[in-house]
């Protein structure tokens, strides 16, 4: 009998973090690609997109 390897993947409890539009993982509740950028806060460093 061959050893059985467990399948990888993320549990369904992380599903709410996935953007329905593009499939990317949301950061702080916002999708870095689909959501409009937040208003700049004076004195904070600019955020770089990938």
| pLDDT, tens digit (0-9, with 9 covering 90-100), for 1-47 | 666 666 777 677 888 889 999 999 898 888 888 887 766 556 655 55
Neighbours of 19 (CB within 10 A): 15
Give pLDDT, residue 5: 65
Give pLDDT, residue 22: 92
Give pLDDT, residue 1: 64
Give every CB contact of residue 10 below 8 A, 6+ residues apart in sequence: none
3-state helix/strand/coil string of 9-43: CCCHHHHHHECCCCCCECECCECCCCCCCCCCCCC
CA gap 26, 23 in Å, rounded:
9
Give pLDDT, residue 37: 73
Could you tell me which of 12, 35, 10, 11 has the C-alpha nearest to residue 22?
35
């Amino acid at each position: 009998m061959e050893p059985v390897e467990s399948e990888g993947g993320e549990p369904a409890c992380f599903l709410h973090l996935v953007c329905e539009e593009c499939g990317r993982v949301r950061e702080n509740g916002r999708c870095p690609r689909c959501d409009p950028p937040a208003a700049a806060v004076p004195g904070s460093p600019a955020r770089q997109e990938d």
